Amino acid sequence: MPPVRFAPFLMAAAIAAPFAALSPAPAHAQIPPPGAPSSFAPLAQRLLPAVVNIQTTQAAGSPGRAQRPDAPDTPQAPPGSPFEEFFRDFLERNRPPGQQGRPNQPQQQQPQRRAQSLGSGFIIDPSGIVVTNNHVIDGADEINVVLQDNTTLRAELVGTDPRTDVAVLRVRPERPLPSVAFGDSDTALVGDWVLAIGNPFGLGGSVTAGIVSARGRDIRQGLYDDFIQTDAAINRGNSGGPLFNLAGEVIGINTAIYSPSGGSIGIGFSIPSNLARNIANQLREQGRVRRGWLGVNIQQVTDEIAESLGIRGGARGALVARAQEGGPAAAGGIQAGDVILRFNGQEVREMRNLPRIVADTNVGNSVPVVVWRDGAERTVTITVAELPSEAQQAAATPAPAARPQTLELSGLGLRVGPITPEARERFSLRAESRGVVITEVSPGSTAAERELRPGDVIVEVQQERVNTPQEVQERLERLRRQNRATALLLIEGPQGQRWVPLRLTPARPPGAPG
C-alpha cells in the first residue's frame, strides 16, 4: 500500500515547507557541492565512444552443469504433482532427434558449445589499440571488440601481463577511432570525483560516478598491488574499463570489486594509470614486459626489528632476508640483514613499495641503493637485471660439522641442536641448510608467540652467522650484557627465510627451578 507508506513522509514535508521558505538553506546543504559539475553529461558524451565492450568465446567441452556451474539445474517436480507430467513432456519435446520416447537410452553426443564472457576496454590509439584486463581475455579462442555504435571488430592479442592483469588488443578499423589518453594517477587525491564507464552485466556503455575512496590499496593479488579504491559502481562486466578524472583522462583500469553478493557495494579497485601506462607501452612495443629484478627475499620492518637494528626514524624500509647468490643485489654488495631505505632516489616506506620501484626501473641501469647496516646508512651501486620467468634458486654451501648435543636457550623457551644427518632426516631439512636447528619450543614461550616450530633453523643472530648451539647462546648472552631488549634471529623454515625479533627475558641462573 504505497500511499500509506509514503504518507508520513509527505505529511512531514508539507508541514516543513512553509517554514523552509522563510530562510535560505544553509551553505553546507548546497547540491551539488562547490566545485562539482552540475552534470557529467558533457564529459560522458565525449568519453563514451572510446570505451568498448569485449566479447570472448572459449570452447566448452560439455554443456553439462559440471563444466558450466552457471547453468541451471534440470527442473524437478515432486512425484505425483501436477507439474511432473508437464516437465516430462517438456524434456521429451526437447530431446535430440531420434531420442524421443527413449528416456533411458544414452543421448547422442552434442556439438561442442562455446562459452561466452563479457568485459570492457578502452581505445588508446585511433589506429585500433585497446587496453583491457588480462582476466577478461584469458584463455579466449576468439576476441571481439564492440564499439559504441555496435560495430563489431575481430581483435588480436598484442600482449598480456598476468602479474598486473593488463592486456593490449589490436583491431583494424576502416577509419580512425575515438580514443582517450592516460593521465597522471599520482595526482588523484582521496575525495576527487571520478567516472567509471563499462559494460556491466552486458548492458553496454554504462556511466557511473563516485569519488576516489582510498589510494595504495593492497588487495593481495600480487607483488605490485597499488590499487585506487573508488565507490563509483563497478559490477561484473566492468573489468577492463577505464576510470576517468574530470579532465577526461584515464587514471585507472577497473579490475576488481569487493562484494559478498557479487554486485557493487561501493568498493571497487582500479590499476593506477602510472603503472598501467608503462605495462601497456611495453606490451604494445615488444609484446611482453621487461621488469627490473634485484634478487632479494625481503620482509616487513616492524617496530621491534627497527629497535633491534637501531634504525632512526622508526619502522621503514625493506629488510633483506636473503640476497640470492648470483643476483644483482649480491653482486652489488647487499647482504642479508641489510634494510633497504632508498632505491634509485625513491624512499622505500615499507616492504611492499620495493618490488614496484625495482620493477619500474629500466633493465641494465646502475642505480644507488641506500641500506642500513651496522647502525649506519651505506650506499651501494646495483645494476638492475631483468626479472627471470622463474626465480633461480641459489645454491648454498653445506653446513659445517658440529657437536651433536642439544642446548636449552634459557629465557626464550627454545632447545636447539646442530644440523646432523639424523636431524636432517627427522625434520626433513634441505641438504644445503646450515645453522642451528630448533628441536623443541616451550608452549607459551616468547618463541611460541613468534610461531617458531621444531625444524626451523636459526641461521643468524643479530646478523652474525651461527653454526653451533654454543654460538647462539654466546650471541644472546652478549646482547643481554648490552641491555638489549630483543634479539634478531634469521630463521629458515618451510616457507623460506624470515627475520624474527625475540624478547630477551633474563636467563635462569644455574640450578634454578624451571
Of the two residues 6 and 339, the one the predictor is more confident about is 339
Q: 62 catalytic, yes or no? A: no
Instruction: Verify that 218 and 332 share a domain, yes or no.
Output: no
Distance CA 399, CA 494 (A): 17
User: Considering the domain boundaries, does residue 230 fall inside one?
Assistant: yes
Instruction: Verify that 374 and 450 share a domain, yes or no.
Output: no
Instruction: Verify that 337 and 478 share a domain, yes or no.
Output: no
Instruction: Verify that 167 and 299 share a domain, yes or no.
Output: no
User: Considering the domain boundaries, does residue 99 fall inside one?
Assistant: no
Which of 289, 322, 340 is the endpoint of a domain? 289
| Residue count (the chain) | 514
* Position 89 confidence tier, pLDDT thresholds 50, 70, 90: low
* Position 260 confidence tier, pLDDT thresholds 50, 70, 90: confident
Range of the domain at 484: 407-503
Distance CA 216, CA 270 (A): 10
* Position 448 confidence tier, pLDDT thresholds 50, 70, 90: confident
For residue 413, the domain's CATH number is 2.30.42.60
Say how far residue 19 (Cα) sits from the centre of its chain.
54
Instruction: Verify that 265 and 328 share a domain, yes or no.
Output: no
Nearest to 487 by CA among 467, 463, 468, 457: 463
Query: Cell 603503472 appears where?
Result: 275
Is 239 assigned a ligand-binding role in the annotation? yes
What one-character-per-residue DSSP string does 206-268 give? EEEEEEEEEEEE--SS-TT--EEEE-S---TT-TT-EEE-TTS-EEEEEEEE--SSSS--S-E
* Identity of residue 326: G
Say how far residue 502 (Cα) sits from the centre of its chain.
30
Backbone angles phi, psi at 172, to 5 degrees: -120, 85
Distance CA 280, CA 285 (A): 9
Q: Which of 117, 120, 161, 165 is catalytic?
A: 165
For residue 336, the domain's CATH number is 2.30.42.10
User: Considering the domain boundaries, does residue 76 fall inside one?
Assistant: no
Instruction: Verify that 297 and 278 share a domain, yes or no.
Output: no
Q: Picking from 131-140, 173-182, 220-229, which range would have the lowest pLDDT averaged per residue?
A: 220-229
Query: Cell 582517450 appears where?
Result: 180
Is 456 assigned a ligand-binding role in the annotation? no
* Position 297 confidence tier, pLDDT thresholds 50, 70, 90: confident
What's the total number of domains in the chain? 3
User: Considering the domain boundaries, does residue 175 fall inside one?
Assistant: yes
Which of 332, 353, 386 is the endpoint of a domain? 386
Distance CA 199, CA 239 (A): 8
Distance CA 440, CA 459 (A): 17
For residue 182, the domain's CATH number is 2.40.10.120
Residue 133 has pLDDT above 80, yes or no: yes
Instruction: Verify that 375 and 450 share a domain, yes or no.
Output: no
Instruction: Verify that 285 and 305 share a domain, yes or no.
Output: no
User: Considering the domain boundaries, does residue 402 fall inside one?
Assistant: no
228-232: long-range contacts, CB 8 A cutoff, minimum separation 24: 228/185, 228/188, 228/252, 228/269, 228/270, 228/271, 228/272, 229/267, 229/268, 229/269, 229/270, 230/194, 230/196, 230/268, 230/269, 230/270, 231/266, 231/267, 231/268, 232/194, 232/195, 232/196, 232/208, 232/268
* Position 2 confidence tier, pLDDT thresholds 50, 70, 90: very low
Is 135 assigned a ligand-binding role in the annotation? yes
Distance CA 237, CA 316 (A): 39
Q: 38 catalytic, yes or no? A: no
Q: Which three cell numbers stand for residue 425?
A: 632426516
Whole-Å CA distances, 274 to 155, 160, 221, 228, 250: 25, 17, 18, 11, 10
β-sheet bridge partners, residue 170 = 129, 156
Is 81 assigned a ligand-binding role in the annotation? no
Residue pLDDT, tens place only, 407-423: 888 778 899 999 988 88
Is 202 assigned a ligand-binding role in the annotation? no
Residue pLDDT, tens place only, 423-440: 888 888 887 888 999 999
Instruction: Verify that 158 and 209 share a domain, yes or no.
Output: yes
User: Considering the domain boundaries, does residue 102 fall inside one?
Assistant: no
Q: Which of 117, 120, 213, 239 is catalytic?
A: 239
User: What integer best gives the mean pLDDT of the chain?
Assistant: 79
Say how far residue 451 (Cα) sits from the centre of its chain.
25
Instruction: Verify that 232 and 135 share a domain, yes or no.
Output: yes
How many helices, marked H, and strands, marked E, lie in the chain?
Answer: 11, 27
Instruction: Verify that 312 and 279 share a domain, yes or no.
Output: no
User: Considering the domain boundaries, does residue 93 fall inside one?
Assistant: no
Confidence at residue 514, expressed as pLDDT on a 0 to 100 scale: 38
User: Considering the domain boundaries, does residue 85 fall inside one?
Assistant: no
Q: 120 catalytic, yes or no? A: no
Instruction: Verify that 156 and 283 share a domain, yes or no.
Output: yes
- The percent of residues in the chain predicted with pLDDT above 70, rounded, is 76
Which of 386, 416, 433 is the endpoint of a domain? 386
Measured at the alpha carbon of residue 104, what is the angle toward residues 98 and 109, in degrees to the nearest 5? 50
